[in-house]
Structure 1
Amino acid sequence: MLIKTHHDLSSYAKKFENSLNKQKIKVLVCCGTGCIASGSLKIYDELSRLIRENGSLADVDLLKEEEGTSVKKSGCHGFCEAGPLVRIEPYNYLYLKVKLEDCEDIFKQTILNGEPVERLMYQDEKKVYKTQEEIPFYHKQTRLVLENCGHMDAENIQECIARGGYEAFSKVLRTMEPKDVCKLIQDSGLRGRGGGGYVTGKKWGQVLSQPNPVKYIVCNGDEGDPGAFMDRSMMEGDPHKVIEGMLIAGYAVGAHTGYIYVRAEYPMAVERLKLAISQAEESGLLGENILGSGFDFDLHINKGAGAFVCGEGSALTASIEGDRGMPRVKPPRTVEQGLFGCPTVLNNVETFANVPFIITNGADEYKKYGTKDSPGTKAFALTGNVVNTGLIEVPMGTTLREVIFDIGGGIPDGKKFKAVQIGGPSGGCLTFDERHLDLPLSFDSLKKVGAMIGSGGMVVMNEDTCMVEVARFFMSFTQRESCGKCIPCREGTKRMLEILEKIVAGNGTVEDLDLLKDIADTVKNTALCGLGKTSANPVLSTLEYFHDEYLAHVVNKICPAKQCKDLSAIEIDASLCKGCSKCARNCPVNAISGKIKETYVIDKKVCIKCGACIEACSFKAIKEV
């Protein structure tokens, strides 16, 4: 397949759409990283075998126009809690937690007879949800960027074209001048989804106006936040949408070379991107004289070595150039002197993935979603103490309550909601209490309470979470990831971590809290780059919203959540102890003594608080206090 003109692209799109329609049944096996880890490739192979032996397996090569049943490797469906996932079209059945032994039933009941396998479907006390779209987790989402993820073959450019892929790029080449593209993206209000929220069209316009004839497009796929996997899922599930967004950006600013910077820890994303780039090159959608327009564009992949700081723009470009990834002083900004000292558009994966929709549907249609100052949707990786974990996409302005309790299904095991960490440890980490549950998720609303959307990681925490330990954990991460170039970040994060470790060990003082805040404010105001400036957010936010918890640690020497081992003790309730000796027999350090049928006691100086005695006691006489 070689696409030389706009007419070729349109013709192939119609041909491939007709081929898809001939596939009467489509079996989409989730082959995102999470489901693959749970065995989805074996499920893919088994379903393929069963259908092949039945003689009805259709080739996924749409040039062949075969009828029958197709089996495809899709990207992430989003409902990661319930993987491995299998979607069956045209019925829109979604099967959850599929095992290899379930394939026979899926084949016989659904593929041969169209009947659902209800035991594999989502259900609650109300009903069995037979279609994916009915499931509450999906029903309350608005999936624009993730529209194709889980609904198409992630490794097939033909299916991408059948679904309108590269039509937006064709449109700008046929009908728009570069300045018009920049203006449309600016009119849409699209803001960078990587954390800063800078107006995308404005950035593109700044690069377009630079006199240097050599310019670059760089896609930041270095998603380093703990608990975040939005960009990874987009690169795995719909890589051509990201490529198309970069092509449009290249045309808009006059750039002819692009780089996608991906974490090396994302091997599946790298593999899918390489395949997509190869397919686009072979099809004539990358390279020279694309679609006969005279526009040239080449795309390269760079793998990051796992440095969190390389998510910062100037550190990322330095890494691509072969230098150590360290931020530099600005100005000059990336739009003026970025990659190889040339003007550079640097946006993250999700930002580029929004572009084709805007070009196809217009700025006004895009602004129907979200809020006035934060149009569109935002993808979040919903994890932690929530029933339904996974990848979600909601309009900007959606409240935390809607995300956590409607889409997420609430807090498991009857526990109470306590906090949510949003945007990563250095990208707008803020904890919330009940007052903030109805706060709309947008760039400006979060900024007012000292937070940021960040890249979109969202970790929900229940009542058993110690917020001081949360601050210590994220500060430990940030301190390890500091590049060490500037003193405020290098020394400040180290000192904050030392104080937090002192507090959770039971040795903190009230004066330590004042010093902790002073250092945090100093680092926030004086650090060189975004990592350093926001590294104090976990400290400042928990100090503000959970100050009583800090005071309990330093004044009363207790951890209210009973998570800090140095501030807890294990005791035996004499009124409940039966003297069975089971606790003593299970203690690994012989800290428990006593006589049979008499109350046993724990030597707190010897006890290592491992909890083995609590688990061993049949009478619930041993508790952590």
Structure 2
Amino acid sequence: MAEQRSGSAGKTRIVVYGSTCGIASGALKVLEAIEKAVGKTGRDDVEILQHGCMGCCFIEPYISVRQEGNSTLYGFLDAEKACHVVESHLLRGEVLHDYRIDESMPFFRRQERRITGLLGVIDPLSIEDYIHHEGYAGLAEALRKDSADILQEVNGSGLRGRGGAGFPTGRKWQFARQARGDQKYVVCNADEGDPGAYMNRAEIEGNPHAVLEGMAIAGYVIGANRGYIYVRAEYPLAVETLRKAVAQAREYGLLGKNILGTSFDFDIEIFLGSGAFVCGEETALLASLEQKRGNPRHRPPFPAIEGLFGKPTVINNVGTLSNIPLIIRKGAQWWKSVGTDTTRGTKVFCLTGKIRNSGLIEVPMGITMKEIVFDIGGGIPDEKKFKAAQLGGPSGGFIPAEHLDLPIDYESLQTIGSIMGSGGMVILDEDSCMVDAAHFFLQFDQDESCGQCVPCRIGLPLMIRMLEKISGGKGEMSDLENLTVVAESLRKTSLCALGQTAANPTLSTLRFFRDEYEAHIRDKKCPAGVCRSLIRFSIDKDKCVGCGICKKVCPENAIHGERKEPHWIDEEKCVKCGLCKDACKFDAIIVS
């Protein structure tokens, strides 16, 4: 853990990690219980703080107790357990090992925490805390130099956009810097919408000033005096945190006129997006900022030349901008000391799905999927087999077990038809159906499509109908070729990048899991037992003890049998909901 903040030396600090995910898990109840328990002790040397999340979603709610340079992490808490921690740790000076989390475990040890390094360490609502940890030192350093030198440093770092395609950040800035215009803009894209992705939310809730500082440096380099943060309205805590951070930065003279006593002016406005996935595409985002329908447009001209209100505009996402202060403060050579030759630095991922240690992780580029899943992630629960990792959201692809040793960087992922995307990483185990997974992402894309161009408007529903035909047991082998043809047409002819990549999940499952498609078509079976039309529920009479639990949970009264006698399922009534299998304690429900 980082050193204590000035003014708190000698105090015991109890930090409750209460960002959106922590609050949803009960962090505020833990906070309230700790405040009451500490209040009863009468001690005035204890400071209780609510910080952002360190990314340990799998141990929430969690807290840390910091004393004299030592820190102890406690997880899986509730109000009662939190009181036990106060009683044991504060009153008796004893670590409560029942709830203690080992911070030497691979989840913590194998990460390279850079832009996430202050998450959970600082109070996100305190600009003083950020400044105490060298915050805004990068901006001060930049303003002491010529803007061309700062651009050279960003170019030298090799930083590529952390929002999707990985375009070199310095090159984008250079285009905007050279573009003619009496007004230029910096836009932060905080409109993450990929299923299973919440990096931007956690980064903003835990360290909002890093984003503001990165935007100000970008503005200085390209000659912009105004910035916008386009953030999802569904992130109320992130939005409120940003608003307070902007107000604090203005109060301290770090935004506004004559920043830090120089002639540089730069201010930021927050704009709330309404949850349209397509507005994550930069030209659609700009249209939305202009109070127009969020439809993508043809490029060129690119936004760096003709963007917001027709003026040169740099658009970077939260992760990209958060790296900028580090690059300026510590130098390009330090920043690119990790990573691969083509993809420098670190990347923040959301590790979710069928994984033991879910959460927000930051790892050096070039790490393998195997290291992420089985070291940092702790492997698959219930000793199930790893089947695939879905990377890049609806625009990405699936990484199968045969490619677990593939390095995670832009070029390596392209060789197997995947992309890094914004950082969503969903793990699937042996119980996942790849036909169903492809259908899920296509359905998401169809629901979120702007419908402006024919390939998306016609192609996506057509592909969905083909997948539903296959999962319903009515598919033909020719459907696989037809799926590929439509998918390739979508990739080549859609207007925007979202449409062009919408077929990636389907294409990658056809490439790596074709046998599952063929089993659905040829054998009329879903190997994973997911597709309802192709599965049958029955009861193993040798294992059934007649407890009647399955009978009680069945919503259609399809299960019959006397108590303490083997039960049976009426297939005509069974809706294949799976509730009986979930409820059975004797593994007597068979899915075939």
Q: Return the TM-score normalized by structure 2.
A: 0.94
- Of the structure 1 ranges 310-319 and 500-509, higher mean CA displacement relative to structure 2 is found in 500-509
Shift of 1:69: 3.0
CA distances 1:461-505 after superposition (whole Å, capped 9, x unpaired): 100000000000111001100000111111111111111111111
Report the equivalent of 2:78.
99
Whether contact under 8 Å (1:72, 1:152) holds in the other structure is no
Partner residue of 2:136 out of 166, 185, 191: 166
Shift of 1:101: 1.7
Q: For residues 544 and 326 of structure 1, what CA distance do their matches in structure 2 show?
A: 31
Q: For residues 295 and 544 of structure 1, what CA distance do their matches in structure 2 show?
A: 53
Report the equivalent of 1:29.
16
Specify the SS of the correspondent of 1:268.
helix
Shift of 1:587: 5.3
Shift of 1:542: 0.2
Q: For residues 176 and 152 of structure 2, what CA distance do their matches in structure 1 show?
A: 13
Alignment CA distance shift 1:500-1:20 (3 Å): farther
Report the equivalent of 1:506.
473
Alignment CA distance shift 1:240-1:547 (3 Å): same
Report the equivalent of 1:153.
123
Alignment CA distance shift 1:354-1:566 (3 Å): same
Q: For residues 27 and 619 of structure 1, what CA distance do their matches in structure 2 show?
A: 44
Alignment CA distance shift 1:355-1:112 (3 Å): farther
Whether contact under 8 Å (2:549, 2:584) holds in the other structure is yes
Asked if 1:394 corresponds to 2:363, the answer is: yes
Aligned length: 588
CA distances 1:39-62 after superposition (whole Å, capped 9, x unpaired): 2123223333444555554xxxxx
Asked if 1:116 corresponds to 2:95, the answer is: yes
Specify the SS of the correspondent of 2:228.
strand
Q: For residues 565 and 362 of structure 2, what CA distance do their matches in structure 1 show?
A: 59
Q: For residues 564 and 497 of structure 1, what CA distance do their matches in structure 2 show?
A: 14
Report the equivalent of 2:46.
69
Q: For residues 92 and 201 of structure 1, what CA distance do their matches in structure 2 show?
A: 39
Report the equivalent of 1:65.
none
> Could you say what the CA RMSD is over the residues aligned between the two structures, in angstroms?
2.3
Q: For residues 615 and 242 of structure 1, what CA distance do their matches in structure 2 show?
A: 44
Q: For residues 355 and 165 of structure 1, what CA distance do their matches in structure 2 show?
A: 12
Whether contact under 8 Å (1:28, 1:152) holds in the other structure is no
Structure 1 residue runs of 5 or longer lacking an equivalent are 1-15, 58-67, 123-128
Specify the SS of the correspondent of 2:161.
coil
Asked if 1:461 corresponds to 2:428, the answer is: yes
Report the equivalent of 2:335.
366
Whether contact under 8 Å (2:5, 2:129) holds in the other structure is no
Specify the SS of the correspondent of 2:98.
helix
Report the equivalent of 1:48.
35
Whether contact under 8 Å (1:419, 1:460) holds in the other structure is yes
Whether contact under 8 Å (2:546, 2:565) holds in the other structure is yes
Whether contact under 8 Å (2:33, 2:80) holds in the other structure is no
Alignment CA distance shift 1:330-1:101 (3 Å): same
Whether contact under 8 Å (1:217, 1:258) holds in the other structure is yes
Whether contact under 8 Å (1:257, 1:299) holds in the other structure is yes
Structure 2 residue runs of 5 or longer lacking an equivalent are none
CA distances 1:153-175 after superposition (whole Å, capped 9, x unpaired): 1111111111111011000111x
CA distances 1:173-226 after superposition (whole Å, capped 9, x unpaired): 11x111111111011000000011000011111111012121000000001000
Shift of 1:121: 1.0
Q: For residues 539 and 157 of structure 1, what CA distance do their matches in structure 2 show?
A: 46
Q: For residues 557 and 92 of structure 2, what CA distance do their matches in structure 1 show?
A: 63
Partner residue of 2:171 out of 198, 202, 211: 202
Alignment CA distance shift 1:580-1:282 (3 Å): closer
Q: For residues 151 and 595 of structure 1, what CA distance do their matches in structure 2 show?
A: 59
Partner residue of 1:336 out of 305, 324, 338: 305
Partner residue of 1:355 out of 297, 303, 324: 324
Q: For residues 583 and 389 of structure 1, what CA distance do their matches in structure 2 show?
A: 31
Report the equivalent of 1:82.
59
Specify the SS of the correspondent of 1:543.
helix
Q: Return the TM-score normalized by structure 1.
A: 0.90
Specify the SS of the correspondent of 1:182.
helix
CA distances 1:567-621 after superposition (whole Å, capped 9, x unpaired): 0112345666789998778755455678999987655344322345556778755
Alignment CA distance shift 1:288-1:619 (3 Å): closer
Q: For residues 304 and 586 of structure 1, what CA distance do their matches in structure 2 show?
A: 41
